[in-house]
Structure 1
C-alpha cells in the first residue's frame, strides 16, 4: 500500500472527524483536522499517539498541558483524562488501537463512531 497524508487531508472536510487511512496490525492510522476543543475524555485501555502535520495543538491534562507544533508527536497514556485544543486549524495524524472510541465513554455532538471514521 502507498498512501499520501497530504492527499488524505484534502478529503477531510469537518473538524474533529478522524478518517482511517490505514491499518497496521491492530492499530488504525487516522488523519483529522481540528480547531477549538474536543471534550474531556479518556481511553481506559488504549494509548493514543498524536503527530502534528500542520499547526499546533495543546493536549490539556488535569493540572498540566503539553503543546505540540508541526513535526511533534506525543503519546497520551491510557486512562489519562485529556482534552485536545487547537486555537487555529491543525492537521494531526493519530495512531491508536482499532478498539479506541473517539471520545472514550463521553458522547457529545462531536463524537464520531468507528463507522463514520471508516467512511
Structure 2
C-alpha cells in the first residue's frame, strides 16, 4: 500500500482512515486540514504521530512543536495537545483509544 497515494484520496476536514489494528493499538492515516484540531487530553493512553509529508505544529501543554515529513513524536498520556491552524500534509496516528 502506498500511503501517500491513499492520503491524497482522503477528503479535507480531518477525515482519517483506519489502516490496521494491532492488539490494542489502532493505526490511522490522516490528511491534515488547515483549520487545525481542538485541544484534547487522554488520561489513559499515549499517542504517537509519524509525519509522512508536509508539516504541522503540534502544541503540547501550550508549547509548540514543529513536525515535518519523517518526524515522529510520542504524546504522553495526561498532556493537553492540539494541532494549530495552518498545517498541511499527512500523518500516521498510533493510539490505543478504546476500539469500538
TM-score normalised by structure 2 residue count: 0.85
In 2: Cα distance, 1:58 partner to 1:14 partner? 17
What RMSD in Å do the two structures reach over aligned CA positions?
A: 1.8
Q: After the TM superposition, which residues 11-26 of structure 1 pair with which residues of structure 2 at under 5 Å, given as runs?
A: 11-26=9-24
1:55 aligns with 2:36: no
Q: How many residues align?
A: 99
Structure 1 residue ranges without an equivalent (≥5):
101-113, 115-119
Higher strand share: 2
Displaced runs of 4 or more, over 4 A: none
Is the 2:10–2:31 contact (alpha carbons within 8 Å) kept by the matching residues of 1? yes
TM-score normalised by structure 1 residue count: 0.73
Q: After the TM superposition, which residues 98-109 of structure 1 pair with which residues of structure 2 at under 5 Å, given as runs?
A: 98-99=97-98
